[in-house]
């Protein structure tokens, strides 16, 4: 055989081997996708198991598969509140479901409005004579808000249950900036717009303390009322007001103290808990592991529940997370993305539209872009309702001015009608290192704003005028939408943050109610009777490769479980991480946030909802970024 012929046979062999390899990889990937995605065929008689190994949100964030695979980690899982409620309501009347089980071991929390809605759905399951059981290694405030609605609350004997109430520390950087020679130029409208205080003060202003204190007090009152009603045997007064007596009740043992205080019903490990569930819902015929019980997981059960259809279509667009310019999201409210979704739906023959908002606000230009897109529905005489979730403040409220009727809950955080901008300059830092700026200017605004030479009085006046003008626009929009005089809006605005109950009294909200109430109102406004309409969630996409990517990444679970276990030390570790993340975001805002912001950073939970694009990872990386910028 000639040399060329031998080479040819080798090349053909390599080609065949590669074809077989790629076919094998394809079928492995296909099997992985099919096995990772929930299937309705996985539903069986037994318990409905809701393993909340993550957080409850309004809209799930998109998982970047490349970043996840390269880093070997994935973000904490997210579960939509409406999915959990839908599953619970279906389970209440499903003969296959004998009990509902919540595993809260790695639960990382959720907004008060969302947790209230889930708790109410748990009550409906219990009203259908079906037990609801929860298990966790530790219970914190958010865990207890759900567990209070269970018929049996189980705690691991090595765990703890702690209720701390809302509140905590904010970070202030004025002294740090002075040491670095960084001049933070603050432009704001509204004396209560305290989002800029971290860059100008070393402590909380009296105005901010007054406003945030009133808000926290209202939220704390609502939390206690909810838990006390659902679990009257819980001695919250002792747990939150007399720590010594609480600990003494358990002779220093945190689990026994929680049991004595009525926070939990049973102490037992996972095997004992599983045996209890098996006695109610049946044993698992395919799993002989100790503590195994027959169960259907949430994802599979949701796949088995038919989505409502028929009748008129009521569109729902979600504005969740920080409002930013561009196509960001889901999970972050990219103004261009949401406006495109709304414009595409203009030709979808929608009978009405509901704007669901769970956002602390953000970019004014992006907020206005979304508002204008909603207005285009109003221009076509399509009814528009607005539904507030946990937070609908600042830019979130800006968007809401396009609606006809606003629904909120008593626990909703709203208001924060005010705007600001923060821009740094480094003239003092530059001088320390012998860097001087000089040049020729044709006007006082030439080369301004100059981050090295400093801002001229003229540019300072221009920037402040721009912020003031934007605030006047904000007041005018609220005045027109709510039928209130501008002076009245200014009096209740100024950056103040309100709970939903107070906001309703002030006229910023029309009525209490959740998303279902807003949908019902919009449907009635469109002339559709009950049962003659169904919601359509605009721009919603399937999880795609999310389940498969998470299955491939094993390192995610260990760290998440350790931090979310709920033990006192794990709670401290989580809060250290939260402070570090806040430091990262705050400094990133100073050095990289463009434009005027209608953003409520002082709102409880807003730091979790407000994600800064391209923020550096970790506190030390943020400090390094600021110091490098200063140098």
Distance between CA atoms of residues 81 and 408, nearest Å:
16
Cα separations (Å) of 121 from 79, 86, 227, 465?
Answer: 15, 8, 14, 49
Q: What are the tens digits of pLDDT across the range 70-101?
A: 666 667 889 999 999 999 999 999 999 999 99
Q: Identify the band that residue 456 occupies on the pLDDT scale cut at 50, 70 and 90.
A: confident
DSSP 406: E
Say what the pLDDT of residue 603 is. Answer: 78
DSSP 290: T
What are the sequence ranges of the domains in the chain? 42-163+231-304
42-163+231-304, what's its fold?
A: 2-enoyl-CoA Hydratase; Chain A, domain 1 (3.90.226)
Distance between CA atoms of residues 577 and 569, nearest Å:
13
| Averaged pLDDT for residues 180-191 | 84
Q: Which helix (H) or strand (E) holds 516?
A: helix 515-525
Q: What are the tens digits of pLDDT across the range 251-270?
A: 989 999 999 999 999 999 99
Distance between CA atoms of residues 279 and 296, nearest Å:
16
From the list 77, 193, 312, 313, the catalytic residue is 193
| Averaged pLDDT for residues 164-183 | 88
| Averaged pLDDT for residues 64-74 | 64
What lies within 8 Å, CB to CB, of 366 at 6+ separation is 323, 324, 325, 326, 333, 334, 335, 336, 395
| Averaged pLDDT for residues 141-146 | 96
What lies within 8 Å, CB to CB, of 30 at 6+ separation is none
| Averaged pLDDT for residues 8-13 | 71
Cα separations (Å) of 480 from 388, 400, 477?
Answer: 19, 12, 5
Q: Which two tokens stand for residue 402?
A: 């396009």
| Averaged pLDDT for residues 367-395 | 97
In degrees, rounded to 5, the angle at the alpha carbon of residue 196 between the alpha carbons of residues 190 and 197 is: 100
Least confident range from 54-63, 72-81, 303-312, 395-404: namely: 72-81
Closest CA to 181 of 433, 420, 423: 433
Distance between CA atoms of residues 373 and 342, nearest Å:
6
Using the predicted structure, report yes or no on whether residue 224 has a pLDDT greater than 70.
Answer: yes
Residue scoring higher pLDDT (204 or 27): 204
Using the predicted structure, report yes or no on whether residue 419 has a pLDDT greater than 50.
Answer: yes
3-state secondary structure of 155: strand
| Averaged pLDDT for residues 300-317 | 92
Least confident range from 32-41, 130-139, 308-317, 578-587: namely: 32-41
Say what the pLDDT of residue 631 is. Answer: 45
Closest CA to 58 of 537, 398, 578, 601: 537
Cα separations (Å) of 611 from 152, 608, 620?
Answer: 37, 7, 18
DSSP 353: E
3-state secondary structure of 597: strand
What is the sign of the dihedral through the CA atoms of 516, 520, 525 and 531? Answer: positive
Say what the pLDDT of residue 63 is. Answer: 73
pTM above 0.75, yes or no: yes
Say what the pLDDT of residue 607 is. Answer: 53
146, 125 Cβ separation under 8 angstroms: no
From the list 387, 394, 416, 456, the catalytic residue is 394
394 is catalytic: yes
DSSP 43-69: --SEEEEEE--EEEESSPPPP-HHHHH
Q: How many CA atoms lie within 13 A of 350 on its CB side?
A: 29
Least confident range from 43-52, 195-204, 398-407, 616-625: namely: 616-625
Q: Which two tokens stand for residue 109?
A: 């929390």
Task: Output the 3-class SS for 563-588.
Answer: HHCCCHHHHHHHHHHHHHHHHHHHHH
Closest CA to 169 of 209, 217, 109: 209
SS3 content of the chain, % helix, strand, coil (to 5): 50, 20, 35
> Residue 627 class from Cβ within 10 Å (0-12 exposed, 13-18 middle, 19+ buried)?
middle
Token look-up 């009990």 returns 99
């Amino acid at each position: 055989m000639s040399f060329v012929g031998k080479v040819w046979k080798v090349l053909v062999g390599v080609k065949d081997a590669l074809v077989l390899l790629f076919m094998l990889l394809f079928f492995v990937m296909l099997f992985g996708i099919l096995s990772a995605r929930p299937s309705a065929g996985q539903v069986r008689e037994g318990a409905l198991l809701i393993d909340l190994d993550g957080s409850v949100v309004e809209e799930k964030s998109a998982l970047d598969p490349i970043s996840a695979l390269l880093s070997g980690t994935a973000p904490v899982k997210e579960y939509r509140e409406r999915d959990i409620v839908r599953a619970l309501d279906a389970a209440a009347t499903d003969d296959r479901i004998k009990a509902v089980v919540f595993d809260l071991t790695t639960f990382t929390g959720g907004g008060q409005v969302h947790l209230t809605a889930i708790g109410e759905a748990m009550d409906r399951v219990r009203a259908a004579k079906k037990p609801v059981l929860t298990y966790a290694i530790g219970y914190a405030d958010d865990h207890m808000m759900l567990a209070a609605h269970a018929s049996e609350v189980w705690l691991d004997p090595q765990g703890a249950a702690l209720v701390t109430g809302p509140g905590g520390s904010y970070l202030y950087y004025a002294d740090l900036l002075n040491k670095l020679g960084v001049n933070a130029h603050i432009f704001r409208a509204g004396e209560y717009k305290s989002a800029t205080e971290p860059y100008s003060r070393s402590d909380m202003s009296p105005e901010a303390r007054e406003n945030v204190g009133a808000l926290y007090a209202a939220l704390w009152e609502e939390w206690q009322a909810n838990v006390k009603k659902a679990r009257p045997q819980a001695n919250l007064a002792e747990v939150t007001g007399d720590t010594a007596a609480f600990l003494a009740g358990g002779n220093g043992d945190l689990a026994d103290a929680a049991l004595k205080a009525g926070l939990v019903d049973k102490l037992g490990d996972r095997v004992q808990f599983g045996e209890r569930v098996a006695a109610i819902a049946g044993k698992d015929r395919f799993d002989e592991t100790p503590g195994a019980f027959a169960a259907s997981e949430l994802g599979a059960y949701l796949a088995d529940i038919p989505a409502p259809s028929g009748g008129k279509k009521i569109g729902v667009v979600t504005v969740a997370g920080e409002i930013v310019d561009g196509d960001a999201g889901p999970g972050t409210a990219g103004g261009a993305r949401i406006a495109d979704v709304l414009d595409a739906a203009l030709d979808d023959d929608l009978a009405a539209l509901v704007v669901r908002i769970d956002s602390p606000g953000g970019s004014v230009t992006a907020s206005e872009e979304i508002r204008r897109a909603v207005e285009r529905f109003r221009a076509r005489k399509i009814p528009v309702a607005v539904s507030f979730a946990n937070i609908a403040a600042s830019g979130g409220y800006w968007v809401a001015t396009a609606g006809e009727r606003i629904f909120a809950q008593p626990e909703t955080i709203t208001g924060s009608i005010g705007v600001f901008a923060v821009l740094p300059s480094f003239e003092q830092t530059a001088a320390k290192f012998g860097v001087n700026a000089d040049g020729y200017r044709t006007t006082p605004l030439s080369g301004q704003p100059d981050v090295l030479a400093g801002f001229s009085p003229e540019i300072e006046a221009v920037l402040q005028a721009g912020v003031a003008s934007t605030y006047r626009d904000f007041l005018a929009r609220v005045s027109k939408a709510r039928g209130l005089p501008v002076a009245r809006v200014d009096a209740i605005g100024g950056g103040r943050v309100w709970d939903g109950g107070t906001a309703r009294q002030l006229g910023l909200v029309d009525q209490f109610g959740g998303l279902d109430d807003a949908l019902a109102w919009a449907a009635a406004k469109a002339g559709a009777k009950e049962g003659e309409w169904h919601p359509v969630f605009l721009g919603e996409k399937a999880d795609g490769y999310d389940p498969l990517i998470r299955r491939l990444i094993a390192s995610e679970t260990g760290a998440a479980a350790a931090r979310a276990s709920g033990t006192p030390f794990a709670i401290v570790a989580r809060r250290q991480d939260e402070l570090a993340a806040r430091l990262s975001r705050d400094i990133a805002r100073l050095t990289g946030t463009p434009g005027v912001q209608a953003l409520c950073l002082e709102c409880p939970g807003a730091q979790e909802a407000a994600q800064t694009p391209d923020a550096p990872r970790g506190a030390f990386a943020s400090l390094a970024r600021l110091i490098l910028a200063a140098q």
